[in-house]
Structure formats: structure tokens, C-alpha cells
Amino acid sequence: MKRFSFGRTLAVFIKEVQQMLRDRLTFAMAIGVPVLQLVLFGYAINTDPRGLPTTLVVHDSGPMARTLVAAMQNTGYFKVTHHSASEAEGEALLDGGEVQFMVAIPPDFSRRVVRGERPAMLVAVDATDPSASGTALAALATLASQALTPELTGPLRSLQPGPPPYEIRVHRRYNPEGLSRFNIVPGLIGTILTMTMVMLTGLAMTRERERGTMENLLATPVRPFEVMVGKIAPYVAMGYIQLGVILLAAWWLFEVPMFGSLTLLLAMIGVFMLANLAVGFTFSTLAKNQLQAMQMTFFFFLPSMLLSGFMFPFRGMPEWAQWIGEVLPLTHFLRIVRGIMLKGNGVAQTLPELWPMLAFLAVAGAVALKRYRQTLD
């Protein structure tokens, strides 16, 4: 039996290093993925979102109402972006996802506080994502006993040691019990489809080249666009099968409601799947083997999962991370699917999130087709 040779081992080591450096894409992914994780988890992820968009419905201009609004803004959790004339107008903003909170201060609020009548202030919150508003609601509860303390002086000092001078009535819209599964299960539709659509399509063309069947495909009179459609169509059908399984589980196992139109949801999912399939097709033209296709899939899936609002509150991320998230189709699809299932949104509320997905589909499809033509050459 030959003895261990350090020289032979070193030769194999050098050979493997050279081969690894030749595979530049794999080497770049090995370096890029950890860096991406560090940046996203270190800078972009925030479980304590602040500056949440809020609309005010103020029917009282007295000093108590003004002090209360100022105290809410000073907490840092509430950012007044709209002033609504009525509660119905504020509800419309909640339905459209433009605001997270609607705060309604009733008429004669200040006078009723002075009289010790403890008037009720309505706080309606979009609870489709309970984690996004939990801390803000806790701060609001603390505010009840502290916000008006500077105003309760002189003859009103007797109101300080007792119960809070006003009452906060919180209405959790769309998810009254604050169940996390109402947020997670609809989101799983998007994340599962993103992973499977990009990965399976990315492996399709790569597998053709590895098995040597690409030459047979190129010898046929099939045009590039026809190849692209033919490759994508089976995975669209598979995506709808996955959707059926997830929806059945959502209804039967998790009791997630469906307040909106199932037909509208199916149409939106079709657009979403095509956008991801176009990304996977592009990856298949870039990757030299199936390993590289898998690596690029993970490189796309990681920011999609972290920056879309699926795992962490979207409004809690810094502005630069939100800009990146707005580019990803999963971000807009999550708003669509949660809006349709939990809010009963229709076409009007869906359109603002549909056009970014269509734009992404157009760009990704054009790049995929161009790359495929270059592959043929």
C-alpha cells in the first residue's frame, strides 16, 4: 500500500482550484449569495416597522384632538399621509392598501374629555399582516394614559390618576382575530409558485443541452418564440395544479376565507406565473449546467422571499430595499392575493398591482427571447 503523498494531494488541490475558477458563474454565486444574505438580513429586514401610513378622520378641532394627533405622530409609528372627510373614505384607503391605519376622532372629543365622559376614538387597522401593526397598536394603548397629561392641568387634574380620559376602540379589518395563517397561507401561493416556476423552467433548456437533445430541437423548423411558448405551457398547467392543492388546503385545513372573485385570482396567478417562467427561461439560456440553473434560481428566490413582504413587514424595510422589492413580481402578487382573498378586492383595487407584473413580464420575456436567439447562433 502506497504511503500518503502530500505532493499528489497538492496537485489534485491545484487542479480543483483551477477548475473552480474556470466556472466563473458558480464561483460568483458562492461569493454572492452569502454577501446578499448579509446585506438583506443586516440592513433590509426590520421586524419593528415605523412610519406606517395613516389616514385621519378628524371631526373635532379642539386642543385635546390636536394634542392626541401630535402624540401619535411623535411615537414614530404613525405617519399621517391622508386626511379623509369620512370613515367611508378612510375605509376605501384601507381596502386599497394605501394606508395601514385609519384613526377617527369623533365630534366634540375635546369637550367630552373635559366633562369626563371618556369619548371613544376609532382605530381601524389593516390586519392582513398582524406583525406589521402589532407594535404600533401596543404604543397606541400606552398613549391612552399619557398623551393628554399636559392638557389635564388645573381643574382637570382630577382626571389624571383615574382611567384614561378617552377610550380606544381597535377594529382589526380583514383579520379580526389576528391569525398569522391568514397572512402566511395566501403568501405561500406566491412563494411556492416562484420557486417551482423559475427552477423547473430554468432546468428545462439546460437539461436539453446536457442530454444532447438541443441539437435535435434546433434541427426542427420550430421558431424561438414557439419553443419558448411550448416549453413554458406545461409548467403553467403544473402551476394551476399546485394552486388547486394550496387553495384546497387553505379552505379545508386552515379555514382561510375567500371574499373575492376566484376567477380574478386565477387570472392574476396566470400573469404571475408567466413572469416567473420568463425569468426561469432566461436563466436556462445563461446556465451551462443544471447546477448553475439551481444557483441562479436561489439567487432570485432569496430576495423575492425576503423583500416582498412575505416573511417580514414590507413597510418596515428601508426605502432602498422597498424600491428593490417593488421590482419583484412576488411583492405585487402578495398584495393581490391577500387583497382578493381577505378583503374581497375587485379589478379596480387590483389594477395598481397588475401593471408592474405586466411590465416585468414584458422585460423578462424580451430578454429570454433575445438570449435564446443568441443561444441558437
Which pLDDT does position 149 carry in this prediction? 58
Report the pLDDT averaged over residues 271-291: 87
Strand partners, 80: 54
SS3 367: helix
Q: Smallest Cα–Cα separation from 343: which of 147, 112, 91?
A: 91
Q: What are the domain boundaries of the chain?
A: 52-173, 181-376
pTM, two decimals, is: 0.83
Report the pLDDT averaged over residues 95-118: 87
Q: Smallest Cα–Cα separation from 227: which of 244, 251, 255, 208?
A: 208
Highest mean pLDDT among 5-19, 34-48, 148-162, 269-283: 269-283
Q: Smallest Cα–Cα separation from 317: which of 49, 31, 107?
A: 49
CA atoms of 217 and 233, how far apart (whole Å): 17
* Portion of the chain with pLDDT greater than 70, in percent: 88
CA atoms of 279 and 194, how far apart (whole Å): 10
Least confident of 77-86, 164-173, 271-280, 334-343: 164-173
CA atoms of 125 and 129, how far apart (whole Å): 10
User: Which own/partner contact pairs does 91-97 have at CB distance under 8 Å and 24+ positions apart?
Assistant: 91/124, 91/173, 93/55, 94/124, 94/126, 94/173, 95/339, 95/343, 95/345, 95/349, 96/345, 96/349, 96/352, 97/126, 97/335, 97/339, 97/349
Question: What would the grid cell of residue 138 be?
Answer: 401596543
**Contact at 8 Å (CB) between 319 and 46?**
no
Q: What b/e sequence results for 55-78 when a residue is b if at least 16 CB atoms lie within 10 Å of its CB, and e otherwise?
A: bbbbebebebbebbbebbeeeebb
Flag whether pLDDT at 160 surpasses 70.
no
Report the pLDDT averaged over residues 198-216: 77
Class of 52-173 per CATH?
Answer: alpha beta
C-alpha 325, offset from chain centre: 7
Which pLDDT does position 62 carry in this prediction? 81
Flag whether pLDDT at 153 surpasses 60.
no
Which pLDDT does position 340 carry in this prediction? 94
Q: pLDDT tier at 273 (50, 70, 90 boundaries)?
A: very high
Q: Report the run of H or E that residue 123 belongs to, with start and end.
A: strand 120-126
Q: Smallest Cα–Cα separation from 197: which of 230, 236, 229, 225?
A: 236
CA atoms of 107 and 117, how far apart (whole Å): 13
Question: What would the grid cell of residue 301 be?
Answer: 428566490
The single-letter DSSP state of residue 149 is T
* Helices marked H in the chain: 6-22, 24-39, 63-74, 87-95, 109-114, 130-143, 181-211, 214-218, 224-252, 262-286, 290-307, 319-327, 329-338, 347-376
Q: Smallest Cα–Cα separation from 285: which of 213, 359, 207?
A: 207
Q: How many CB atoms lie within 10 A of CB 106?
A: 16
Which pLDDT does position 214 carry in this prediction? 65
CA atoms of 118 and 191, how far apart (whole Å): 46
CA atoms of 334 and 332, how far apart (whole Å): 5
Q: What is the pLDDT of residues 295-349, one digit of tens each?
A: 888 889 989 999 998 988 888 888 899 999 999 999 999 999 999 999 999 998 9
> Between β-strands 167-173 and 101-105, what pairing exists: parallel, antiparallel or unpaired?
unpaired
CA atoms of 173 and 343, how far apart (whole Å): 8
Which pLDDT does position 217 carry in this prediction? 66
CA atoms of 372 and 377, how far apart (whole Å): 9
CA atoms of 237 and 55, how far apart (whole Å): 42
Q: What is the pLDDT of residues 234-261, one digit of tens each?
A: 888 888 998 899 899 888 888 899 999 9
